[in-house]
Amino acid sequence: MKYKRLGSNELKELEKEFITFLSSAQITGLDWEKMKKNEQEKAEELIDVFSDLVYEKVMSKIFFLEFRDKKELNIFHFEDDKIVLNGIRMKEDSSINLMSDDLFSEWNANKSNEISIIKTEKVYIKERGIEIFEMLEKGCYITDDKLFKAIANLY
């Protein structure tokens, strides 16, 4: 498995898609019920394959992830061949909180030199989708390009 097995609730939500998947493998509803009872390992393998297909499709549609805490904000842009990072780092003693929804107003009000702008990139070590998945598992969340562009305009 590349990603992780979908849970029973997730499979239930994707029941229609799973039926289509089984149909494409010429497995009827009756065949599936028999397989679950008599060939559990084979049934689990099919669920694993379906899970990977679902995650692969989802990961292919993600282009930006965000990770932030009080002193660090990172926006990752997932291109075809590399990850580009635009980030902001605050000095430890800074009063600016990067968790603030109104981050740029707070920063402009302080006009401080407490900030470092980071731009870096790296080629994928693993497949693009796997790298995105692992970052999601570590606490990043899906975002759009707005903050990525805003940070880019700072340097």
pTM of the model: 0.84
* pLDDT above 60: residue 109: no
The average pLDDT across 41-62 equals 96
Rounded CA separation 82/137 (Å) = 19
- What confidence score (pLDDT) does residue 127 get? 95
Percent of the chain scored above 70 by pLDDT? 92
Mean pLDDT score, 86-106: 75
What is the b/e burial string over 4-34, where b = at least 16 CB atoms within 10 angstroms of the residue's CB? eebeeeebeebeeebeebbeeeebeeeebee
Q: For 110-116, what is the mean pLDDT?
A: 67
pLDDT class of 131 with cuts at 50, 70, 90:
very high
DSSP string, 105-153: HHHHHHT-S-EEEEEEEEE-SS-HHHHHHHHHHTT-EE--SHHHHHHHT
Q: What letter would DSSP give residue 70?
A: S
Residue 93 pLDDT: 77
